[in-house]
Structures are given as structure tokens and as C-alpha cells.
Amino acid sequence: MVKNILLIDDDPDELMIFEEAVNLVDSSVKVQMVSQPVDLQDCVSHSKPDLVFLDINMNKLNGFGWLDLIRFRGYRFPVVMYSNSSDKHDIERAYRGGATIYLTKPVNFSVLVKCLESLFSMDLNDPKQVQEKYSSNGNFKIFEL
């Protein structure tokens, strides 16, 4: 069950939109945002995420750098790559780097809400099993409703 989300994105408008969508789905879920490189251990200790949403295109440390750092430090919580990019190389790189799911940023708010509803209903206790559904036998897929 998702109770704490960490959104890593350098666009403050994303936080506002994302947090509003999360509140519509489940107002008990807390969202924290990190917009620049910080000490990962302090960040995780403070937010205690059940689920991390990670943008790829950021100025200082991109999402792949964050993903590498998260997995290198041994954190096993589910990571949703949350990006505007639908480039197959980005998708493949994300899954190979340990992302659980790859979600392109929805074009409208109502689709974001539906995506979050679907993600929150998944059993994310075993991120590896979820990942295998979207990345099996070298085929990598974007999360879709």
C-alpha cells in the first residue's frame, strides 16, 4: 500500500499537478519532492518512500543518475520513471537500470489520475515481479492503462 511518495523532478509545476492528482486518488498519501541533488540517504530517511517517481530530464543530475544511485545504494523500493520521453533507448536504459515501471507523463490531468489509480492498485511489494511484466525477454514497454 502506497503511503509515501518521493517525486524527483526539477519542475516545481510538476509537484503541484502531481500532488493534486495524488490527493484525488488518495488524500492520505504524502508526496515529497526533491528538485536538486541532495544526500540520497538523508532524503530517503526523511521521506521513507513506498514509491519513487523519477523524471529523466533534469539539469544537475538526470534521472538515470538518480536511478543508478538509488540502486547502487541498495534501495529496493519501486521506482517509476516518469518522463516526457518515449524514446525506446530511454525506456530500455530505465528498465536495465532497475526501474520498476516506465510511465510517460500523461498529456492531461484526468489521465494522470487514472494512471495513479492503476499504479496504487498494483502489488508493489515485489517490484521485480512488476518490472518483469513490462520488461521481459528484451522487450520493454511503457506503462499504459
Write out residues in the chain with pLDDT < 70, as ranges: 37-40
Range of the domain at 105: 4-140
Number of structural domains found in the chain = 1
Evaluate whether residue 51 is within a structural domain.
yes
Res 92: pLDDT:
93
Evaluate whether residue 145 is within a structural domain.
no
Res 113: pLDDT:
97
DSSP β-ladder status, 30-34 and 4-8: parallel
Which of 115, 94, 97 shows the shortest CA–CA distance to 106? Answer: 115
Evaluate whether residue 98 is within a structural domain.
yes
pTM: predicted TM-score of the whole model, two decimal places: 0.90
Where residue 92 sits, what CATH number does that domain have?
3.40.50.2300
Residue-wise pLDDT tens digits, 100-135: 999 999 989 999 999 999 999 988 877 778 888 887
Evaluate whether residue 32 is within a structural domain.
yes
